[in-house]
Structure 1
Amino acid sequence: MKTLIGTEYLGGFFLLRPGNARGLRVAKEQFDELWQSALVPRWLSESAREAWGLDITGQPMNAAVLLRPLSPYGYGRASYELNLGCNYDCEHCYLGLKRFEGLDWPDRQRLLDMMRDAGVVWLQLTGGEPLVDRFFAQVYAYAYDLGMQLTISSNGSRLWRDDVLELLTSRPVYKLTVSVYGATAEGYDAVTRRPGSFHKFAKGLSAAVAARLPMNLNLVVTKSNAHELDAMKALADGYGLTYHVYSNISPTIYGGPEVLRSQDPAYLRRRTPFTGCNAGHTFFHVDPFGRASICKVGRDPSVPLLEEGVEGLRRLGGIADRLLGRQGGCTGCTLQGTCGTCMPLVQLYRTAKADLRTYCQHGT
């Protein structure tokens, strides 16, 4: 494992410390010099000492720095959904049917190589619950060794395991986002519909804090646990962790309305105006079967990467432009400039025949 990563990111050139939030921007001339140097240049050793307290003076370049090849595709970020399966059965889950299906290791390895070739520097591993996936450790280690900064979205139920903690500390995770479904066993287990899940979560959270993993929390609010929101905030504050309150429940990825019943209308959050995003242009999502889409919400149409290869990603920009444009029932709306819901999400709400007020702040 290398000490530093040298990479291009969205037209700039950077030196990164795996698992560290701090990075250094360098000139193209300096980046080119690294490719030609047998030993770490003086300017790099001085910069590494100042930025990270590292002493790499005189070290061979190929031992100290992983230099990632330039990519012609322009993607800096991606999310990879390892599996739709989960060890919980949450009432609000947007995945709907939580099936343990996915690719074997050789095809996953091919996908990760394609993500590297596409220029992906920041990769989110998600699910389902990614830590219960049978290839989680292999995916994580391989992506890390390709020079990616890894974030994980998890329910935290397996963070207490020694093998997981060793993996996330020996190959430092960039960020860990843990969902919180309650502050007591009664409230938490009512949401997950898995008796004993709060105990595993609490044990995992405590272990992750003790291991000093970089972590933030998503406090998920439903009808079942809304009365515990203040206690959930206190839990986060007690550990000194930042948090985000997540209260707007979305339909399933298939447009299923059943999960919307779990939403507490009293906690509907007004969305900020949606003015566009980089989905499909500098970011993409990959599902458990190797299908690339512009994001987790706008899944159709998608690109079968195992068939088309990394070149297939060139189609995503056009797909994004078509999906993100206002259309259908929103065409002609004079309030589009203040709409807070992106069009792919609007389409899911429409498929679910949801109350207009749940996704349109202008609805009556």
Structure 2
Amino acid sequence: MHQLVATPFGQRRLILRPGSSKAVQVPRAKYDELLTLATGSNAVPGWLADAVRDQWHVDLNGRSVDEVFLFREPGQYEFSRATWEINLGCDYDCVMCYLGKKRFEGLDMVGKRKLLAVMRDAGVIWLQITGGEPLIDPDFPESYRLAHELGMQLEILSNGSRLHKEHILNLLRTYPPVKLSVSMYGATAATYDKVTRNRGAFDRFRTGLTQAIDSRLNVDLSLIIVQDNAHETDAMRDWARQLGVPFREYANISPTIHGTAEPLPSQSPQHLTNRAPFTGCPAGVTFFHADPFGRASICKVGRDPNVDLIAEGVEGLARLGDIADSLMLRTGGCSGCKLSGTCRVCRPMARVFQEAKAPLENYCQHGSR
């Protein structure tokens, strides 16, 4: 199993360590030297052993390059990041969920392997695996290991309900993610189970979260604040601080991906925050999203049009840039707006709110101007 990944990243050359957000950048000539050394059982050069020791406290003295490193080929495109909904199924039934109907369906393992190979060929280095709840997918362990073997730096978005399972913890200890983002829905069993509509969920979550932290996984908490748990906001913050892990808060609820408004009434009005003005994003340019069927879109919100990566392969991604440009055009209720320079949501997100017939103040700070 490789300890380090050497990869092109645009015009740069990086050395990455699985499970770490840090990197070592090396000059092109030094990177080419490594490629040459990897063709035989040559020792890691001193300059790199020193850099790796300084960055990660890992001793490579006496180790061979081909033993330690996995070398990534340059991607066919500039897509360095992607998210993948491995499945939309979930063991929770949260009323504020943006996925709407959470059907457990998608690619079989053969299709998942093909999709991950396409991502590798596209140049994806950082992959976020999400759902639904990714850890309930029976193919998650094999998919996760394969993504690691392909040299991807992995993040998991999870509700934490399966972190108490020993086979899941062993998998993540062996192949640690760069980040394990876990959602928190309350600070007591009564509130947590009410929000998730799953009896006993809090106890499983608390056990799994504690074990993940004790296993030194890079846990990052997402405090989801809605009407039903708003009274425990301070308690959730205090709990996160006691655990000693980073956390952030999410209170602005969006419509479902289908453009329906069911999640919106769950918002806690006093906790809504003003988004920063939207100034552009890399969606469809250096980043893409893949759904459970391997359909690539510019992001989780702008899902149509999309590209069937299973049918078209990596070449289909060449169309995403034009798709991104078309989805960012102001249409519908936003066409002709002269205040678009200070919009706080992107055009695809505004469209979802408009399809849900949401009140203007939910997504547009200009109100009735």
Aligning the two structures, in what range does the TM-score lie when normalised by the shorter sequence?
Answer: over 0.9
Deviation track 1:202-247 (CA, whole Å, cap 9, x = no partner) reads 1111111111110111111111111111111011011011111100
Distance 2:191 2:366 in 1: 33
Secondary structure of the 1:223 match is coil
Write out aligned runs for 1:151-230 (5 A).
151-230=155-234
Q: Which amino acid aligns with 1:9?
A: F
Instruction: Give 1:268 shift.
Output: 1.6
Give the Å deviation of 1:321.
1.1
Which residue type is aligned with residue 26 of structure 1? V
Paired residue secondary structure (2:358): coil
**Could you tell me how far 1:263 is from its partner in structure 2?**
1.1
> For the residues of structure 2 that align with 1:229 and 1:16, how far apart are their CA atoms?
37
Please name the residue that 1:20 is paired with: 20
Matches within 5 A, 1:69-80: 69-80=73-84
The alignment partner of 1:258 has SS state of coil
- Normalized against structure 1, the TM-score is what? 0.98
* Identical residues among aligned pairs (%): 52
8 Å Cα contact 2:333/2:354 also seen in 1: no
Which of 297, 303, 317 aligns to 1:299? It is 303
The alpha-carbon deviation at position 270 of structure 1 amounts to 0.6
Alpha-carbon distance in 1 for matches of 2:201, 2:176: 26
Distance in 2, matches of 1:105 and 1:96, equals: 25
Counterpart residue identity of residue 12, structure 1: R
For 2:328 and 2:29, how far apart are their aligned partners in 1? Answer: 38
Paired positions, count: 364
Q: Name whichever of 84-93 and 8-17 sits farther off.
A: 8-17
2:301 counterpart of 1:318 = no
Residues 252-283 of structure 1 show CA distances to partners (whole Å, capped at 9, x for unaligned) of 11011111111122222111000000000000
> What is the 5 A alignment of 1:266-305?
266-305=270-309
Contact 2:225 2:233 in 1 (8 A): yes
| Aligned match for 1:256, one of 256, 260, 276 | 260
Structure 2: 5+ residue runs without aligned partners? Answer: none
Provide the rounded CA distance (Å) in 2 between the counterparts of 1:320 and 1:72.
19
Residue number in structure 2 paired with 1:35: 35
Deviation at 1:327, TM superposition (A): 2.7
Distance 1:202 1:47 in 2: 38
Matches of 2:178 and 2:201, distance apart in 1? 26
Which residue number in structure 2 is paired with residue 349 of structure 1?
Answer: 353
Query: Structure 1: how far apart are the matches of 2:123 and 2:265?
Result: 40
Secondary structure of the corresponding residue to residue 219 of structure 1: strand
Alignment deviations for residues 120-160 of structure 1 (CA, whole Å, 9 cap, x no partner): 11000000000001100011100001101100000011111
- Segment of structure 1 superposing worse, 240-249 or 37-46: 37-46
TM-score, reference length from structure 2: 0.97
CA distance in 2, matches of 1:325, 1:212: 45
Which of the numbers 235, 243, 246 marks the counterpart of 2:247? 243
Q: How do residues 110-149 of structure 1 correspond to structure 2 at under 5 angstroms? A: 110-149=114-153
Partners in 1 of 2:32 and 2:273 — Cα distance?
48
Q: Does residue 363 of structure 2 align to residue 329 of structure 1?
A: no
1:48 shift after superposition: 1.6
Question: Could you list the runs of 5+ residues in structure 1 that have no partner in the other structure?
Answer: none
Distance in 1 between the 2:10 and 2:332 partners?
33
- Amino acid paired to 1:28: R
> 1:276·1:324 contact (CA, 8 Å) conserved in 2?
no
1:4 aligned partner = 4
Deviation at 1:11, TM superposition (A): 2.6
Give the CA RMSD over aligned residues: 1.0
Provide the secondary structure at the position in 2 that maps to 1:153: strand
Amino acid at match of 2:339: L
Residue of structure 1 in register with 2:68 after alignment: 64
**What residue is the counterpart of 2:113 in the other structure?**
109
